[in-house]
Homo-oligomer: A and B are copies of this chain.
């Protein structure tokens, strides 16, 4: 897919990022799916590749999964499904099977094993190409105090977008 098309609805992706959040899909080595809600992230270009950067704290179940399998998906939920984001943002996949709780249909991505939610008008499938671990002594003091009181510093995963699905008939639901 041409780069231009991948970014075509970037304004809507950011609206969701800043509102109810996006659903970050990951998968365990055994093929178990998980989703977490993210409100931070970056869409852009690096090394001539379209990329999505996500930030995950080591305490998260998703962290273990991305470390193990090196893939993730970013799913932008349509109107009416916002409840899924708030649920996935408040419960850990270690304790609950969120998909079964929510009765969402998720399936393996087209190019990666991480899960996608078919009802989402925009889905990015990503392969981790680089990771940045935040270093405590480089983080501004005000951020350390407010965001990292417990030292659970994010790792940023630079994912190459290897497949993008945009359902043009449903982007108006974003």
List B contacts of A40 (CB < 8 A). 44-48
Report the interface size for chain A: residues with CB under 8 A from the other chain. Answer: 36
Contact A132 B132 (CB under 8 A): yes
A45-B44 Cα distance, complex, nearest whole Å: 12
In whole Å, how far is A32's beta carbon from the nearest beta carbon of chain B?
27
A47-B55 Cα distance, complex, nearest whole Å: 10
A8-B9 Cα distance, complex, nearest whole Å: 10
Contact B3 A7 (CB under 8 A): no
Chain A residues within CB distance 8 Å of chain B:
3-4, 7-11, 13-15, 17-18, 39-48, 51, 53, 55, 129-132, 134, 138-140, 143, 147, 156
